[in-house]
Amino acid sequence: MRYQNPVLTGFYPDPSICRCGDRYFMVCSSFQFFPGVPLFESTDLINWQQIGHVLTRDSQLPLAGAGSVGGIYAPTIRCHNGRFYMVTTNTTQGGNFYVYTDDIRGAWSDPIYVDQDGIDPSLYFEGDRVFFMSNGTDDHGTHGIIQCEIDIATGQKRTPVRCIWQGTGGRFLESPHLYHINGSYYLMASEGGTEYGHMVTYAKGDTPYGPFTAYAKNPVLTNRNLGGYLLQGCGHADLVDDPDGNWWMVHLCFRQIDQWLMHHITGREVSLVPVTFDADGWFTAGVDGTTRLEMETDRIAESVTQHIWQEMNFSNTAVGMEWCYMQNPILSCYRIAEDCFSLCGTKTALCQDDASPTFLGIRQKEMCFSAECTLTLAPQEAGMVMYMTPTQYYALLVRPCAGGYAVVRRAQLGNLVHEEPVCTLPTDAELVRLQIQGNCYTYMFRAACGEAVYDLGYLESRFLSTEVANNFTGLMLGLYAVQLDTPAWTDFTGFRMTNEAKSAQ
Ligand code: 6LW
């Protein structure tokens, strides 16, 4: 059959995967968003259904002050003796920790912290031994992939921390995972940085702590030499086997806009490629070590079709699932009904990352989309926003003005804040419908009030891109409110976001 990459679009970086029987589970990074660590399930590896988040309580996920490069980095999910473990780093508070659950659809434990340096922690279970890997500095001051054994009940270290591999020379050696396959140990990692030079490398050894011999043809996967190709930045990978014994790799990638001097806006997404072992126990991945948009495979049944999410609305999405807050939300500012989100702004503006603004965001999953929502007019600032970071966003907002209400298009780019144009609504107006339409290059802004339609022009997507914003996340479409004088409530109804084709160019 044929499937398309990415298999999961929108900002879902650093995928990690495990299989339990005939079901696969996958987690991704979530940074400053709450709940944390989105959790997906699949039975065929190409259709992923979100079943919740791993970190759903403030006690698991203190995010106060987490900006767009803070909070939760690269998680790893593993299943051992029927128990699921998710290990990650809260880069803002607490460092490396893991949580566990015996019910993948239920609540996860409170964090168990591990006093090991570095980010991108991973677990490998062997009998009653548990190996804990990360990329950091060991007890002797050596930097690389570092490892210790831990007591899984307490998170206490059982052995000194030591460096077990230093990669192949690429910068930013990260995302280690250890596997035991057909009698050999494989240590897989990424190098080159999570940008256009990203690559997956690995080494093989006879023990879980090495010594490891690097694969002679590393990198085993990279798109760095495919100039102009839509899928770039392939790296940060994890392996899984299917019930037929085939191996697969999920990894992050992004879809670039333009052929030269590229940029990308939807963040790092998830692609899937087959992995094949040779007779000597070395493996290859993808199509000649690259990831393609169209993949042909006989490992997935012809009867499986890949579903693409065409419209997201209040009926087929939910708060705490697709919709996320920023940092730990002040829940009294939200009233969530089936067909209406009511938001009460606080004094925290969108341009702040020292507190949680009243904000609910959903990922921009495709370059081409159209999103609209109807708002009641209330004495506060409220609107829709294409949000990348506190200092990179485009908002279409409504707020009181002399004699009524005005719709304003605001661009914040660094410390440059520009508001234009401003349309004054009829004095008897009670509702306004806001629309943002995206293509690869621009966001277009429109408002409608009764019979009147206001064209608020367009802004370029490039200025919100990762290359400009300098962040690890991707574009979110947010519904938000900010208090002006006294607290007020805005009702958001009739939201829909229609995605077009999966291609970008
Ligand atoms: C993550 C690191 C990376 O911890 O980006 O692409 C960092 N790789 O492994 C943040 O997502």
Contact call for residues 480 and 355 (beta carbons, < 8 A): no
Query: CB of 234 closer than 6 A to ligand 1?
Result: no
Total residues found in the chain within this entry? 505
Residue 189: which of 215, 223, 224, 211 has the closest Cα? 215
Rounded average pLDDT over 327-345: 98
pLDDT band per the 50, 70, 90 thresholds, residue 501:
low
3-class SS of residue 428:
coil
- Span from the CA of 201 to the centroid of ligand 1 (angstroms): 15
Residue 467 annotated to the active site: no
Q: For ligand 1, atom 6, which residue shows the shortest CA distance?
A: 194
Query: CB of 69 closer than 6 A to ligand 1?
Result: no
The pick from 27, 73, 201, 466 for probing ligand 1's pocket by mutation, whose C-beta has the most ligand atoms within 8 angstroms, reads 73
- Span from the CA of 188 to the centroid of ligand 1 (angstroms): 14
Contacts of 348 (CB under 8 A, 6+ apart): 355, 356, 357, 358, 482
Rounded average pLDDT over 407-423: 95
Q: Which atom of ligand 1 is nearest to the CA of 74?
A: 4
In this predicted structure, what is the pLDDT of residue 503?
A: 46
Instruction: Quote the DSSP letter at residue 469.
Output: H
Which of 138, 174, 322, 353 does the annotation list as catalytic? 174
The pick from 16, 194, 234 for probing ligand 1's pocket by mutation, whose C-beta has the most ligand atoms within 8 angstroms, reads 194
Question: pLDDT for 346-385, tens place per residue?
Answer: 999 999 999 999 999 999 999 999 999 999 999 999 999 9
Query: CB of 121 closer than 6 A to ligand 1?
Result: no
Bigger pLDDT: 455 vs 504: 455
The pick from 96, 173, 174, 222 for probing ligand 1's pocket by mutation, whose C-beta has the most ligand atoms within 8 angstroms, reads 174
Bigger pLDDT: 239 vs 504: 239
Question: pLDDT for 86-130, tens place per residue?
Answer: 999 999 999 999 999 999 999 999 999 999 999 999 999 999 999
HSE-CB at 493 with a 13 A cutoff on CA atoms is 9
- Span from the CA of 252 to the centroid of ligand 1 (angstroms): 9
Query: CB of 236 closer than 6 A to ligand 1?
Result: yes
CA 249/CA 239 separation, integer angstroms: 5
Contact call for residues 201 and 190 (beta carbons, < 8 A): yes
Question: pLDDT for 388-410, tens place per residue?
Answer: 999 999 999 999 999 899 999 99
Chain position carrying tokens 């990179």 = 392
Q: For ligand 1, atom 3, which residue shows the shortest CA distance?
A: 194
- Span from the CA of 121 to the centroid of ligand 1 (angstroms): 11
Query: CB of 361 closer than 6 A to ligand 1?
Result: no
Question: pLDDT for 435-454, tens place per residue?
Answer: 999 999 999 999 999 999 99
Query: CB of 409 closer than 6 A to ligand 1?
Result: no
Q: For ligand 1, atom 10, which residue shows the shortest CA distance?
A: 73
Residue 169: which of 192, 189, 147 has the closest Cα? 192
Average pLDDT score over the chain: 96
Dihedral angle computed from the Cα positions of residues 66, 70, 71 and 75, in that order, rounded to the nearest 10 degrees: 170
Residue 294 has pLDDT above 70, yes or no: yes
CA 34/CA 214 separation, integer angstroms: 38
Residue 253 has pLDDT above 50, yes or no: yes
pLDDT band per the 50, 70, 90 thresholds, residue 163:
very high
Q: Which atom of ligand 1 is nearest to the CA of 119?
A: 4
Chain position carrying tokens 């006093």 = 115
- Span from the CA of 305 to the centroid of ligand 1 (angstroms): 31
In the chain, % of residues over pLDDT 90: 96
Residue 455 annotated to the active site: no
Chain position carrying tokens 């240590």 = 187
- Span from the CA of 224 to the centroid of ligand 1 (angstroms): 17
Q: For ligand 1, atom 8, which residue shows the shortest CA distance?
A: 194
Residue 160: which of 182, 140, 187 has the closest Cα? 140
Which of 14, 149, 366, 381 does the annotation list as catalytic? 14
